[in-house]
Amino acid sequence: MSRMIDAGLEQQSVLLVKMGELTYETLDMSIRGYLKAKSVHPEVREMSDMLVSMADEVEDDAFQLIARFQPVASDLRAIKSYMKIGNDFARYGRYALDISSINEQFDGLKECDVWAQKYLEEMCEKVLSMVKSSIDALRKLDVNLAKSVAQTEQEVDKMYFEFLTQLIEDKKAKSKCLVSAALMNRYLERIADHATYVCESVVYISTGEKITLR
């Protein structure tokens, strides 16, 4: 028998999937713009603001569900996770905005040697694949897909530290490259972390199990 709260939870889920789609679009635009030294800052700012508004909507709706109905433990688990995922998606948007900002200031990777450009391009692809997997896992509530991001996250972490070491040892690196590449490297590592947070929430919604994928 359908409960009144079920319709509200379904609406939350639909809103989060829409957020996820906008999240990926925002990050992809920002990252591609950075790699090509193409200005996308106005567009990314608008999309980032939309993500913040949607996260607020998720939170407001969650409190209404708690106030209007009597959620059981599994409902509260979903409500709590939906709020957390909404905040994670908003953080994605914030990192996308940060990336577009450093692109504006430092012309992306124009001042960097080819090795740094290729390294960050590979890292970008891995991170975007993690973001896509986190969104797909949420859409399908796919526990196995959620858990699969752990391996890629380890690869991104390894690349993060390797890149910093190579950047420090590159005596020819220009100051604009050092600042731009180091910041981008850090943003990518943080985005990867948030992808694991989303996937951890998916596992928690589906099974009630609290796991760490980092």
Tokens (6 digits) for 8: 């509200």
Tokens (6 digits) for 173: 């690196």
φ, ψ at 139 (rounded to 5°):
-60, -40
Report the alpha-carbon distance of residue 209 to residue 183 in Å, rounded.
Answer: 34
- Looking at domain 4-207, what is its CATH homologous superfamily? Phosphate transport system protein phou homolog 2; domain 2 (1.20.58.220)
**pLDDT tens digits, one per residue of 175-191:** 999 999 999 999 999 99
**pLDDT tens digits, one per residue of 153-162:** 999 999 999 9
Question: Computed from CA positions of residues 174, 176, 178, 180, in that sequence, does the dihedral angle turn out positive or negative?
Answer: negative
Alpha carbons within 13 angstroms on the beta-carbon side of residue 184 total 36
Report the alpha-carbon distance of residue 90 to residue 86 in Å, rounded.
Answer: 6
Q: What is the pTM of this model?
A: 0.94
Q: Is the pLDDT of residue 214 over 90?
A: no
| pLDDT, mean over the chain | 94
Q: Is the CB of residue 47 less than 8 Å from the CB of residue 30?
A: no
Q: Is the pLDDT of residue 1 over 70?
A: no
**pLDDT tens digits, one per residue of 22-56:** 999 999 999 999 999 999 999 999 999 999 999 99
Distance of CA 171 to the CA centre of its chain: 33
